Structure formats: structure tokens, C-alpha cells
Amino acid sequence: MGGRIVSQRKHITVLCGGESPEAEISRVTGSSVAEGLSRSFEVELVDLPTDALPAEPLTPGTVVFPAMHGPFGEDGQLQQLLESAGIAYAGCAPEASALCMDKVRSKEVVADCGFKRARDFRFLAQSKPLAEQIIESVGEQIVVKPSNMGSSVGVHMVDGLAELRTVLEELPDGQWMAEERIVGSEYTVGILEGEAMGIVEIRPIKGFYDLQNKYTPGATQYVFPAPIDETLACKVKKFAEHAFTACGCRDFARLDFIITSDERPYFLEINTLPGMTPTSLLPKSAFCVSLDFPNLVKRMVEPAFKRADNQSIAH
């Protein structure tokens, strides 16, 4: 009698921050996820100052939710560190994370999943090709973007040779791709444990879906579920599920695509650690299938607890 009551709730460590250009967005995601998870679990939010695991040991038995964006968090490095430390975590394993972070490689892998692919040209800024070479390969309407970044960081919409020359001259070092610009409406679909949720249409008020339009409330209109033909919607969802499997993904992801005026869906990318900010897309996709935010993040982390339990049994 009178003894201390010990909480039996499972423990989650949410990691955010780091050194990525997307660190601030990661912190917003981390705060949102931690708040949503706190209804069901004991939650600790850790803001990483560097691209490394926390200096302080993690709570024994915790499961990690990596609310990280950009390099280190999304390219498999963090996941590999967690694997080496024997810590269970939500989301894709290192190999799938690295693959999906590479926009060129992931396009090649999903080639047989039903989506069409825009032509692309990959290059290093340090040894960039001539503008004429790129235009000969992909055409004059071009999207120039990093081949291994997220959140629309560094995206340039280019029309013609003169514009392309200017953009190429100003590119910082790194891996880049020039991609044929597909004209159509942009969509996304969330995938939870291998099953596609609702399709969201993305309608920027001005320009294209860049970093500012993505994270500024009111700058983009979102329509969910998207007003597209039911047969086409079912086809796209099947394509997305096949792509998720082909890339070796697990737990959750978000797949972005464009549909042209003649109803041809083109694959853009798979995001293995989608944003979970107030304007983010995955929660909107989940809303279409009657999943509110707290239940969504709970579902996202539950497979990691199963893996943690299996690790305990194995040892």
C-alpha cells in the first residue's frame, strides 16, 4: 500500500533536428509527432545538435521515431546507426532509405510498377555538362533539382537554353538531376503498412510546389480525397503499393506523382520520412481513410514495437 505506481506505457524517443538544411522543418515534425504519440505512449523528444545519435544513452527498451528530414535522417545513415546499436525504430531500413533518397535510382526500380517516368539526366555540379547536352537528352522544359534531397530544396523550373545556362552556373556542389518537366496536376498518396490511403491533390496558389509553398499555411490548396476518376484512383493506388514493395519499404511512406491531362500517371519520388507538420500531406492522406493524427502516428510506430519484441525474444 502507498507504493509508487510505475507507468506501464511503452516508451518512444522522437529524434529531430540535426545538421540538414531541413532541420527546422524536422523540429516542427518532431514536435507534432511527439504530441500525437503522447496520448498512447511515454514520449521523449530529442533535438539532435549534430548528425549522430544522442550523446546521452537512450531509455532502455525505447523505440525511436526518426522525425528527420534530408541527409543523415533519410538516406539510411541514422537507420544504420540505430541498427548497429540494436535499437528498434519506425520506418524503412537503411537500404530502402538510401534507395528512395536517390531520385534517379528509385525511378529505375519502380519502372515496372505501372508509373511512367520522365526522362532525366544526372550530373555532379563539380563536373557539370553543357546545357546543350541536357536539352538534347530531356527537352527544353526542365526541372533541375538535387538528386538526393527532399522538401523541394534547390528546385529550379527552367525554360530553354539561356535559363538553363544561368542555373547551371549557380549550382552549388553536389549531386543534381535535370528532369523532363511533365505538365499535369500533382498528387500524393500515403502508404501505411503496404496499403495506399487517400490521394491528395496539390494546388499551389502561385508558381510550383516549392519550399515556400510547401510550408507556408495558405500558400497551397489541398484537395482530399482528390477529385479523380475512381478507376484511375484505384490503378494509381495499386501502382503505389507495388512501388513501395519494389523499393523494399516498410511501415509507411508517401509517394508523389503527376497525372497528365490524358490521365497518364508519372512517378516523381517516394518519401520514406514524410513531413508531419500542420501543412503536411501524409496526415491528409490518412484523413481520407478516417485516421486522425494521433491514431496515424500510433499506427506508424506499432510495427517497430513488434520488431523490438522479436529482438528481445531472439536474445
Catalytic residues: 22, 151, 215, 254, 256, 269, 271, 275
What is the Cα–Cα distance from 116 to 70, expressed in whole angstroms?
26
Residues in the chain: 315
Nearest to 182 by CA among 261, 102, 270, 269: 261
β-bridge mates for residue 315, sequence order: none
What is the Cα–Cα distance from 103 to 253, expressed in whole angstroms?
14
Contact indicator for 71, 20 with CB cutoff of 8 Å = yes
What is the Cα–Cα distance from 282 to 86, expressed in whole angstroms?
28
